[in-house]
Every structure is written in structure tokens, then in C-alpha cells.
Amino acid sequence: MADYEQLDTPSVVLRADLQRLFDSLHARGYETIAPRVENGAIIYDEVTSVDALPAGWTDEQEGGFYRLEGRDDGALFGYTVGPQSWKRYLSPPIRRLWQARKNGDGFEIVHEDAPTPHYALIGVRACELHAIHHLDDVYLGGSTIDADYQQRREAAFIVAVNCGKAGNTCFCASLGTGPAVGPGYDLALTELVTEREHAFVVTVGSERGADVLADVPHRPAAPGEIDLAEAIVAEAARHMGRTLETTGLKELLYRSFEHPHWDEVAERCLTCGNCTMVCPTCFCFTVEDTTDLTGQSAERWRRADSCFTTAFTFITSGSQRASAKARYRQWLTHKLATWQDQFDSLGCVGCGRCITWCPVGIDLTAEVAALRAEEIGQPQPEAVLEMA
Amino acid sequence: MLATAIHERQPAVARTFATNGCVPYRCRVTERHQENDDTFTVELEPAGARSHAAFAAGQFNMLYVFGLGEIPISISGDPAQPDRLVHTTRAVGTVTRAMATLRRGDMIGVRGPFGSSWPLDDLKGKDIVLVGGGIGLAPLRPALYQLVAQRGDYGRVVLLYGARTPEDMLFRAELERWRSRFDLEIFVTVDRATGDWHGNVGLVTALIPRAPFEPQNAVALICGPEVMMRYAVQALHKRGVGPQQTYLSLERNMKCGTAMCGHCQYGPHFVCRDGPVFRMDQVQRFFGKWEV
Ligand SMILES: Cc1cc2nc3c(=O)[nH]c(=O)nc-3n(C[C@H](O)[C@H](O)[C@H](O)COP(=O)(O)OP(=O)(O)OC[C@H]3O[C@@H](n4cnc5c(N)ncnc54)[C@H](O)[C@@H]3O)c2cc1C
Ligand code: SF4
Ligand code: SF4
Ligand code: FES
């Protein structure tokens, strides 16, 4: 795709015309995935009608706590992130990679060739867009790439949404990953609900974004509307429920390998793996090989996996991270320290999901603060050479 | 813009993870040799039109047994003969036991080669000390082939090998042949002497203090159980072979081989991509700590 120069003036689309956005995306062959309410939470699912968006809903989040509540302004995006993330559409948690069939003198491999789904992801928040870029680093950044991910990713149309409200467990402002969306979207919306109008300030981020916007009734945004949109996002930034000090974070975690605080976390952590399942950047998977009952045909499946299981690191001599302490330490150290060495960025985007959805409310921002507060002298790397 | 951004992130030669990911190529077992009670060596030939890729000593493949699973196994053959793909495997669990039942003509899936290698080209002129424990000799054998073929380029070449019993020794005929060369020093020790064994008894690390090499000019290549490698690193260090002269091959659970599944992570390293061969100073921060 050719480079796209962002239009200087944002546009305004009225709430009443937003359905046309969905319709245009449909007409162009996209399956529209957007937030909707199910089982008391905001999830991401196929949504074809604007009326199915969570109008008038907001969420209250705390460590180990999530509840939807009504808001009286009818806002369509007046909540923050729920338990799901877009990774389920770009890198499905369960998928068959190939099949094999026995034949006369061996077996043959049957490739999967399902058509690539074309998703329009509507309502992608700033932190989530960063998380998608992190998945790009993992699946597309190396010398070997995940072609399935690449196809889904390139096909995806991204409608980002600026956050007008920060959640209690959010800390994107500390990490520079939000609440204002950064580059990488096709269209970005900021929802304005005032006494005079219910509308969206729209910025275009790509040529195909411009094409889609052309199908939707819009007008240039008035200066007051642009100012208001910016003020709303700035206000969200001032109301982050959490903060995470990033200065020296990598070194802090590397130094803290033997910190007694890990034992303290391990007393609370259930090693349920919820945090890894809800995290938009957790990318680990396992593969499983199976056969049918006759033993004539086999399949390989890829499934999302979690570093909180003991099987994750199993080798002949046993699990390499048998203790809960080692598994929590690995997870947190990967997010905040080793990820920096691997991908030159933090592995956390500050979405707060792991805090909200941890059944016991373990809060990584608090754990880091505790590591900082109780810094202790650490053995030098040479220690191994002196060992027994 | 989006698509451009993605493409910019890719290196010039992207090896695509095939369509839809991690598809092995099919090979036939052309030779099979039982090394000892539980360890066997197979030679594999591609079943289709393709040929095996070139590999470097120390690299590994992911081997797939129909319907049962896929596991990392080092290449134990000669890097100068990439068309003869050789693997030596110890039967310890589900996949390896099934693999042990494969006979000539049977089919197996292969992906690879993956990972880093013993950096032999950079070690010319050095004394090379290879330290192997049990099945750990398998990934060292390609290095030995290469050292023997380019013998004049290196200083002393010393192999220290520890097996459980004399009967458990791998590659016995070859070791005998190499031992009879005047330019290779091969020392074998066993945990438990049986039959008419008159050689060393004890840990392979006990051979290090007396081994004939010049510490300042030596480089050690180590592969074996992690505990054995820890003691070997210490014994070498005592003789003056420092972390920058010591290479080791690490073993971790592996599901992809391509730095994506996350299983093999060891600190910041993906062992499947950055390893399995590391120079000691790369991993020193973690090596010797438990549950990394
Ligand atoms: C880079 C590398 C090179 C290796 N080279 C050799 C070799 O040349 N010869 C050899 O005999 N063995 C080698 N191994 C070890 C070999 O991979 C394991 O013995 C094998 O995976 C055991 O599988 P299993 O299904 O028989 O065992 P099970 O105990 O039934 O294991 C179940 C599963 O756990 C995982 N697993 C278990 N043990 C290991 C292990 N030690 N390492 C990694 N994953 C494990 C695998 O996914 C395996 O399928 C190597 C391992 C690595 C990481
Ligand atoms: S670690 Fe927690 S806060 Fe950070 S991106 Fe993952 S789920 Fe969000
Ligand atoms: S930190 Fe919380 S969510 Fe994560 S494994 Fe432990 S108990 Fe589960
Ligand atoms: S084996 Fe999958 S990341 Fe290394």
C-alpha cells in the first residue's frame, strides 16, 4: 500500500450516520468485529449494527473486580477494555495447522488452506494497537514468520477509538501507550457526547481509511470539536487508576531474581494463568499432535499456552519452573525486562487486564513497587563459578 | 501505510513459516543403528524432491513421529555431508520411544535445521576441549568430524566423555578409530565399571584437571546434563579457561524452533534461536541459578 499522509483536518461523523461506516466495511468484504455486552462484560464479537454496541454502558474495574454499570449519556465507547483482546482474531487461540494421512508406504501432509478472514476491528484502543504491534514483532519480526498471522494482519482494517475515560486498573499513560491512539490505524474515532450533539471526530490514517470514510456522511470538524476531542483524551490521561515507574525497570528486574518478594507473591498467586490469557501481548503457544481412533489420520493443532503451567517447561529432568514463584517471576520479568532485550520495547502496554482478571487481584504495578521499595543486595553474576 | 509498516519490519530474507505454520518435510529412515540399550542412530533421506539443508555442527531439527509429537533432536552427522542427515536419540518418553521402533523405510517428519552452532571457524589455532556427558556426545560429534577434517587448523583436540557404563558408550567404533590417531586425545570415563573395563571411573568433570591442553589458548565445548555442565564450567574455570572460552549447549522445552512459541525462553534468550549453543558469558547471569 502506498504511503498515506494523514489529513490535517479531522472530520466529524454524526452518531446517526455511524451505521454507514459498518455498512461500507461490509460492502468491502469485511467482517465487522466490535464491542458488545455478553455475560456482564464487554467482549469483541461480530457486530453488524451500531445498535448492538454497548450504548450507555461503562465498566468499573479493580484488582480482581469487574462490573458493568449504566451511564446516562448513551455513549457507544464509554468503557475501557474487557477480558478479551484482538489477538483472538489475529492469532486465534486454537487452530489446526495441518493434517497428515497414512498411505501405502508412509504418510502425506495435507496443508490447511482456509481463506484468510478479512476483519474490520472496530474500537481498538491505544494500548491495544500497541499490543498488536508487539504481536507483529513476535510473529513477523524474525527470520521466520507466521504466514497465517501475516495474512490476517494485513487484511485487517483498524478503526481505533481514543479513550475518553481511563479505567481504575489502567496505566497506559505511564508507559506512553495511551490513552491517545498512535500510528497504525486506518480510522481513529473520538466520541463526543455533548448537549448539542452525539458525534465522532474522525482522523484518517491510511488510504483505505480515506476510501471508507468517503462512503460515510461527514463534514470537516470545527475547531471547537477538535479541541474538545483533545481535551477529553487529556482528561482520561489525568485519571489513570495505576502508575508504573519505568525508569531502570529492566535492571531492577534483572537484579531482583533472588528477591524475597517473589516468595510473598507466590503465596497469593494461584498459577491459574488468567493473566496470560487476558494479556493482549502474551503470545506463547503449544502444539499438539493427535490421531483419530483408526490411527490413519493425524492432525497438528496450535493452542494458546501459558507460562503458568508446569508442563510449559517440561524436559526429561522435570519442569524447569516447578515453583509458583518461578512462574510468576518469569511472567513479570518477561513482560517488563527480558522483552526489552528481545524486542526493544516493554512487553506490557498498561491495559490493566491482568490486574482486573486476576482472581486474587495481584497487581503488577504494586509488585514492581514492592521490588523497588525492598531492593536488596544481589549476588554477582560470577556466583556460578564459585558454586560448590 | 499499515502494510508498508509491517513489511518494513521484515528482514530481507524472510523464511516463511510455510502456509499456516510449522509443516515438516517427510523423510525416510535409510539406516538404523542401535548404539546401546536405549539409544539409536538413524539416517534420514527426504521422501520428496527436496534435499536436506546445509547445517552447522551443534544445530538441531524438530523430528515428528506420525500423530505422536515433535521433539528437538541434535544433528549428530557430518556437516560436510548434509545429504546424510543423521540423528542419535535416547528413548526416554512418548515420542522418543516411538521413534526407537522405526525401521528402515519408515517415515518421519523433519523441520530445521534450527539454532546456533559451535563456532569452529572462529576457533582456528585454538586447543579445543570437548566435554560430553551421555547423550550430550551426539551434538558434539559433528564438531569432531569437522575438527578431524580440518585437523591442521587447530591446536590440540581433546575429547572428555562420560558414559554411565562401558556398554552405554555412544559411537564406540568411531571413538576407537579416533583414539588410535596420534593427533586426537580421547579420554573416557564411566560412572560404573562393568566387564573388563580398565579405564577411568567417575565423573567426566574429574578428567578436566589432568587433560592435556593449554588453558590460555583453549576453548571448551560442553554438552550434557545441566548439573554436569555446571561442574564442568567450574573445573575449567579453575584451570584458567574463562567464560569467554567456554561454550555450552542448553536444553529447554521446545514447541516451534522459530522463537515464537515462547517455551524455550531462558532469560532474554530464545534457546531455539539464540542457542542451543551459547558462550558462557552470554548466559552467565542465569546459568547456575535454578528455575530460570
Ligand atoms: C536443542 C535440543 C537438542 C536435543 N538433542 C537431543 C539428541 O540429540 N538426542 C536425544 O536423545 N535427545 C535430545 N534432546 C532431548 C529430547 O528433545 C528429549 O529427550 C525429547 O523431547 C523427549 O521427548 P519424549 O516425548 O520422548 O519424552 P516425554 O518425557 O514423553 O516428553 C513429553 C514432551 O515433553 C517435551 N520434552 C521432554 N523432554 C524434553 C527435553 N529433554 N528437551 C526438550 N523437550 C522435552 C517434549 O515436547 C516431549 O514431547 C534435545 C533437546 C534439545 C532442546
Ligand atoms: S501485563 Fe497486564 S497490563 Fe500489561 S499488557 Fe498484559 S494484561 Fe495489560
Ligand atoms: S497472577 Fe493472578 S491471574 Fe496470574 S496466574 Fe497468578 S493468580 Fe492467576
Ligand atoms: S521453541 Fe518455540 S520459542 Fe523456542
Higher pLDDT, B186 or A114: B186
Among A238, A266, A289, where does a domain finish? A238
Residue B291 lies in a domain: no
For residue A336, the 8-state DSSP code is I
Which CATH number characterizes residue B278's domain? 3.40.50.80
pLDDT of A376 reads 56
Say yes or no to pLDDT of A383 above 60. no
Mutation target vs B (from A146, A249, A263; most B CBs, 10 A cutoff): A146
Residues B128 and B242 in one domain: yes
Residues B153 and B197 in one domain: yes
Q: What is the pLDDT of residues B266-290, one digit of tens each?
A: 999 999 999 999 999 999 999 989 9
Picking from B41, B119, B137, B121, the residue whose alpha carbon sits closest to that of residue B85 is: B41
Taking the C-alpha atoms of residue B52 and residue B254, their distance in angstroms, rounded to an integer, is: 21
Going by alpha carbons, the residue nearest to atom 3 of ligand 4 is: B259
What's the mean per-residue pLDDT of chain A?
Answer: 93
Residues B134 and B221 in one domain: yes
Q: Region B152-167: what's the mean pLDDT?
A: 97
Burial of A361 (0-12, 13-18, 19+ CB in 10 A): middle
Residues A291 and A203 in one domain: no
Residues A263 and A373 in one domain: yes
**pLDDT more than 90, % of chain B:** 89
Give me A150's grid cell. 501475516
Q: Region B215-239: what's the mean pLDDT?
A: 96
CB A366 within 8 A of CB A377: no
Say yes or no to pLDDT of A220 above 50. yes
Say yes or no to pLDDT of A369 above 70. yes
The Cα of B276 is separated from the nearest Cα of chain A by a number of Å equal to 14
Taking the C-alpha atoms of residue B205 and residue B136, their distance in angstroms, rounded to an integer, is: 14
Residues B98 and B36 in one domain: yes
Buried/exposed A98-130: b ≥16 CB within 10 Å, e otherwise:
bbbebeeebbebeebeeeeebbbbbbbbbbbbb
Contact A143 B15 (CB under 8 A): yes
| Residues ≥6 apart with Cβ < 8 Å to B72 | B60, B61, B62, B63, B114, B254, B257, B272
Q: Region A176-201: what's the mean pLDDT?
A: 96
Residues A149 and A285 in one domain: no
Residue range(s) defining the domain that contains residue B106: 2-114
Residue A53 lies in a domain: yes
| Predicted confidence band of residue B20 (pLDDT cuts 50, 70, 90) | very low
Instruction: Give me the residue from B2, B20, B288 closest to A111, CB to CB.
Output: B20
Q: Region B242-257: what's the mean pLDDT?
A: 97
pLDDT of B1 reads 36
Say yes or no to pLDDT of A382 above 90. no
Say yes or no to pLDDT of A5 above 70. no
pLDDT of B91 reads 97
Residues B156 and B106 in one domain: no
Report the sign of the C-alpha dihedral through residues B142, B148, B150, B155, in that order: positive
Residues A207 and A160 in one domain: yes
Residue A244 lies in a domain: no
Residue A353 lies in a domain: yes
Give first-to-last CA distance, chain B, whole Å.
Answer: 40
| Predicted confidence band of residue A374 (pLDDT cuts 50, 70, 90) | confident
Say yes or no to pLDDT of B10 above 70. no
Mutation target vs B (from A286, A290, A307, A320; most B CBs, 10 A cutoff): A320
pLDDT of A4 reads 58
Quickly list H helices, A63-125. Answer: 87-90
Taking the C-alpha atoms of residue A182 and residue A127, their distance in angstroms, rounded to an integer, is: 9
Q: Region B238-250: what's the mean pLDDT?
A: 97
Q: What is the pLDDT of residues B71-82, one digit of tens each?
A: 999 999 999 999
Say yes or no to pLDDT of B4 above 60. no
Q: What is the pLDDT of residues A260-292, one digit of tens each?
A: 999 999 999 999 999 999 999 999 999 999 999
Q: What is the pLDDT of residues A66-119, one digit of tens each?
A: 999 999 999 999 999 999 999 999 999 999 999 999 998 899 999 988 899 999
Residues B137 and B256 in one domain: yes
Say yes or no to pLDDT of B11 above 80. no
The Cα of B222 is separated from the nearest Cα of chain A by a number of Å equal to 15
Contact A291 B66 (CB under 8 A): yes
Residues A225 and A291 in one domain: no
Between chain A and chain B, the number of residue pairs with CB atoms below 8 A apart is 201
Residue B53 exposure: Cα atoms within 13 Å on the Cβ side: 14
Whether A154 contacts chain B with CB within 8 A: yes
pLDDT of A121 reads 98
A257 lines ligand 1 (CB under 6 A): no
Q: What is the pLDDT of residues B135-156, one digit of tens each?
A: 999 999 999 999 999 999 999 9
Taking the C-alpha atoms of residue B234 and residue B204, their distance in angstroms, rounded to an integer, is: 13
By most ligand atoms within 8 Å of CB, the mutation choice from A65, A66, A308, A353 for ligand 3 is A308
Contact B22 A300 (CB under 8 A): yes
**pLDDT more than 90, % of chain A:** 91
B93 lines ligand 1 (CB under 6 A): yes
CB-CB neighbors (< 8 A) of B255 in chain A: 285-287, 305
Among A238, A273, A288, where does a domain finish? A238
A366 lines ligand 3 (CB under 6 A): no
**pLDDT more than 70, % of chain B:** 93
Higher pLDDT, B1 or B154: B154
Residues A183 and A331 in one domain: no
Residues A205 and A254 in one domain: no
Say yes or no to pLDDT of A18 above 70. yes
Q: Region A175-196: what's the mean pLDDT?
A: 96
Give me A179's grid cell. 490513552
Among A238, A262, A281, where does a domain finish? A238
Instruction: Give me the residue from A145, A313, A323 closest to B253, CB to CB.
Output: A313
Residue range(s) defining the domain that contains residue A63: 11-238
pTM (2 d.p.): 0.93
Residues A70 and A149 in one domain: yes
Residues A162 and A212 in one domain: yes
| Predicted confidence band of residue A1 (pLDDT cuts 50, 70, 90) | very low
Domain count, chain B: 2
Q: Region B183-205: what's the mean pLDDT?
A: 94
Whether A93 contacts chain B with CB within 8 A: no
pLDDT of A173 reads 96
B232 Cα–ligand 2 center, Å: 40
B255 Cα–ligand 2 center, Å: 24
Neighbours of B197 (CB within 10 A): 14
Residue B230 lies in a domain: yes
Q: What is the pLDDT of residues A290-344, one digit of tens each?
A: 999 999 999 999 999 999 999 999 999 899 999 999 999 999 999 999 999 999 9
Taking the C-alpha atoms of residue B86 and residue A106, their distance in angstroms, rounded to an integer, is: 19
Residue B288 lies in a domain: no
Q: Which of B7-21, B129-143, B234-248 has the lowest mean pLDDT?
A: B7-21
ipTM computed for the complex: 0.93
Contact B67 A100 (CB under 8 A): yes
Say yes or no to pLDDT of B187 above 80. yes
| Predicted confidence band of residue A7 (pLDDT cuts 50, 70, 90) | low
Residues A256 and A378 in one domain: yes
Say yes or no to pLDDT of B21 above 50. no
pLDDT of B49 reads 83
| Predicted confidence band of residue B18 (pLDDT cuts 50, 70, 90) | very low
| Cell numbers 509488585: residue | A367
